[in-house]
Chain A
Amino acid sequence: MTETLQRKDYLSGQEPRWCVGCGDYGVLKGFTAALAQLELPRENIVIVSGIGCSSRFPHYCSTYGFHGIHGRAPAIATGVKLARPELSVWVVTGDGDGLSIGGNHFLHLMRRNPNINVILLNNRIYGLTKGQISPTSPTGAKTKSTPFGSVDRPVNPIQLAIACGATFAARIPDTDNKMITEVLKAAHNHKGVSFVEVLQSCEIFNNQAWTKVNKKSERAEHTILLQHGEPLIWGNNRDKGFRFNGFDLEAVNLDDPSVDENDLVRHDAHASDPTLALKLAILDFGVSPYPLGIFRQVEEPVYEEAVWTLDRTIHSVQGASTIHDLLRAGETWTVESGSEKQAIP
């Protein structure tokens, strides 16, 4: 690539078909900005999606794209990555696509750890089918399919991803372009699978889902920004923090004279033990400050690299072959012309 590409160069020019006010627009903007800042050649990017509002994503980008079938983007992406490890492969999915119909593939994508970046737009609702509960909808949610309130217990995407073995897990709001771009760049630079949950608002069917996070005026009070090595502090006045009380994260007020700032927990995204990341992941939305940023970022063997390294190693021992030799490997015998007697080699 010779000339530097601008953010807009990563847009296909196709008019997005998302509703006005949909959180997906912000993600598309932050995502294309990340691609431009990373100076990734468009031809080396493949965006794979499933089905749902979020899965229209590939059509709006000027890269290679594969709009797959419901829940199966991880499978397609794994095939692309295994066949062509040098490509930058992104999966864009939603809470229904990725965690309900595609739940099984999600597990295996996380545990194998290919160098694939997964963006999950979590709006806690089915949008494209016009408003039914999703696996992240809160218990009690009243939707078209649950007119008297849902009895299902929701799944927590970050907790699930880490439990499945994700080596990179992050959460971002759909309204903070800068944060979207920074986290997606970090996801790209991470070697191994990167899981990024976007708290996305569905303007039409669930626009109050993440207000406390996505509304700038509420964010400081209701979220906690995770920064590796920094103490866990939040609040409008940055006056609250977490310290350990036994195995529990205990919220404390920094104004309390009995609280020592040095006792606060420092975030460690690089710890191989996932306990702290999981503790943070299970903090309840609406009850505790909701963590944003990178929960976990650890190095583990990368799937497609391991596959290709093993194949190449064995190849270098076995050597190359030809069809001629392949078909003649093992026991063979020849029939000479004009005789029915056989020579046994």
Chain B
Amino acid sequence: MGVSDDRKPISLEPSPASTSPSDHPTELDVTTIRFAGDSGDGMQLLGTRFANTSAIHGEDVITLAEYPSEIRAPAGTLAGVSGFQMSIGPQDVFTSGDVVDVLVAMNPAALKANDNLVREGGIIIANADSFIPKNLEKAGYDRNPLETDELAAYQLFPVEISRLTATALQEFDVPRAQVERSKNFFALGLISWLFNMPLDNSLTWIRQKFAGDEGVILANSQALDAGSKYGESNELFKTNYVIKKPEKSRQPGTYRYLSGNSAVALGLITASQLAGLHLFLGSYPITPASEILHELSRHKEFPITTFQAEDEIAAIGAALGASFAGSLATTTTSGPGMALKTEFIGLAVSAELPLVIVNVMRGGPSTGMPTKMEQADLYQALWSRPGEAPLVVLAAKSPKDCFHTAVEAARLALLYMTPVIMLSDGYIANGSEPWRIPEIDELPPIDVQHHSDASTFQPYARDPERLARPWAPPGSPGMEHRVGGLEKQDGSGQIDQDPENHQRMTYLRAEKIRRVAQEIPPLEIEGDESAELLIIGWGSSYGAIARAVMHQNKLGHPVAAVHLRHLNPFPSNLEEILKRFPRRVVVENNDGQLWTKIRAEYLLDAERLNKIKGTPFKIREIEDKIEAMLAGGA
């Protein structure tokens, strides 16, 4: 295998001592598993279930969902392949894995599209029943790869998943279509056995998910069980596996499994509750952000209004209206939607109203690669508005970090009466990981009040510390006032086109955003602080960078890293940290956007590592860069 992180090459060979697989499973460190099939095959469900089971079983997990931008691309074709990859391990799993140890391929196209991701000696489990001439041809195979030596570099296990599922369900009189749908659960049972995971969590889930449909519950449960039994009783696999015990015990607490988009939704609800405000979401469906709208639309147990607007512009417009009316307002979108919202974001800056704008970034420009990740909207977030219109920009670094970043985005928006842009991306939005649920007192208080004293009210008077103006929603007598996009007089808020006032207001708006830095905890250095080389990252590349640095440090290579959540303003100690490291490299999934800002802000040079392929960094790619730089090159 390409040793891409700090684990030894996994031996997936049968351990000499093992005779009965379940009794003596082979121990594994971090392991990467990929499920691939037709986009209609339910690979995301299968992967999510196994990831959940692993997380509940106590493993550390990170997932990566990859699906085509078409809902149902032609069945059986390469374009229609959907994949779900996950790394599981005892601890410190920070990415969904560089290379695949175990691939489950449900059809020839899935095999063709993914076999190059599997490491030499890795396991491929293929649904042999789907390797029929028609499917082979669609995938571009001249001959059945299960019958040639094409896959000799791997441990190949052709399993007649469809037939075995049908056999298992024979006695239960299950309709044909359901048999076909249950084959996923057979695969889940088999892979659960292979990794020595219990089935009870999946069984409970099946019972809850399909409650009321006994036929489906029966079919799926039986298929799951049959898959597991097949692994156990069949001589095909000489061993099964178990993930090693963690070296350090996990932080005690209650855990759950969480995707980035769900985390944003939960973070926003939490923030609204902490602030004691009604939550308003204006949104327009867009990949890969729509799940936030879906999630928030379900939670009527809280005072939340979700509004699916006629377009991206109306979505933010309604949110800004709700903000004026006193709600914690938010809008969620992706890059193309951000472009449409630009003018309203400028109005929010001018009106000085709190607003959380979530951009779940995808490949651009224009429609770009809707289902692929990228970090190329940083310039857009920082600067894409008419006039001088600074605002706060934050980025989440992992699925669970989306929760905390969303809470902070809301908090800063409310405390500073400003729009805040929160950046996430398609990788962490659809990716999931276990999360230790915080207790309420671990969350930051959000202490905001609508202005209540009419005698002191001036719409653009400012709190001397934060420079925030008072928030006086309609309904309060004596504080009737007008806001808008025209330049206004400092204090009174009256329309004012005076040159001196305009410059003063421009500086006040800028200074207000600069002062947000006083809320930001000092940036922490990870890795070898005495190193000469510093990696600077932001957003979803955190996992790959952290693993790369950890591994390089273990090898004795001096390197450190900082990871920025706050992209505007920067943490106050960033400059000082940068100056401590003579060599710096900015790692990002774009063509150097943070790199530009750092150089512009501090006049400090840095090298860069850029990947613009729609996929996250591999740990190895970052380590290669580190090693090259430490060897004196780039």
Contact = CB atoms under 8 A, between A and B. Distances in A.
Given A80-B474, A82-B322, A104-B310, A328 B254 contact: yes
B266 A326 contact: yes
Interface in A76-125: 76-84, 86-87, 104-105, 107-108
Interface in B165-215: 200-201, 205
B414 to A, nearest CB: 15
A35 B347 CA distance: 28
Place the interface of chain A in its size category: 35 or more
Contacts of A44: 474-475
A14 B322 contact: no
A108 B477 contact: no
A340 B280 contact: no
A323 B440 contact: yes
A118 B250 CA distance: 59
Most buried by B among A45, A323, A330: A323
Interface string A200-231: 00000000000000000000000000000000
Interface stretch (B13-21, B65-73, B480-488, B611-619): B480-488
Given A43-B474, A74-B314, A334-B253, A66 B321 contact: yes
A320 to B, nearest CB: 6
Contacts of A338: 249, 252
Interface of B: 52, 55-58, 200-201, 205, 245-246, 249-257, 266, 269-270, 273-274, 278, 280, 282, 299-302, 304-305, 307, 309-311, 313-327, 329, 343-344, 346-347, 351, 436-440, 443, 473-486, 494-495
B256 A80 contact: no
A10 B317 CA distance: 26
21 contacts: A66-B321, A72-B343, A76-B317, A76-B318, A77-B321, A79-B318, A79-B319, A79-B329, A80-B322, A84-B475, A87-B475, A105-B313, A107-B310, A108-B309, A307-B305, A318-B300, A326-B269, A327-B438, A330-B256, A334-B252, A335-B252
Contact of A340 (B250, B266, B301, B480): B250
Interface string A309-345: 0010011001111111011101111111111111010
A338 B436 CA distance: 16
A339 B300 contact: no
B27 to A, nearest CB: 15
Contacts of A64: 324, 474, 480-482
Contact of B344 (A65, A69, A328): A69
A340 B305 contact: no
Dominant secondary structure of chain A at its interface with chain B: mixed
A59 B484 CA distance: 9
A322 B276 CA distance: 12
Interface of A: 1, 12, 14, 41-46, 48, 58-59, 62-69, 72, 74-84, 86-87, 104-105, 107-108, 307, 311, 314-315, 318-324, 326-328, 330-342, 344
Contacts, number: 223
Given A63-B480, A75-B314, 18 more contacts: A14-B494, A65-B481, A66-B324, A67-B484, A67-B485, A72-B343, A81-B321, A83-B322, A84-B473, A84-B475, A87-B475, A326-B301, A327-B256, A327-B270, A332-B254, A334-B253, A334-B254, A335-B250
A331 B201 contact: yes
A334 B58 CA distance: 9
A340 B58 contact: yes
B210 to A, nearest CB: 16
Contacts of B246: 340
Contacts of B436: 335
A69 B300 contact: no
A307 to B, nearest CB: 7
Contacts of B255: 332-335
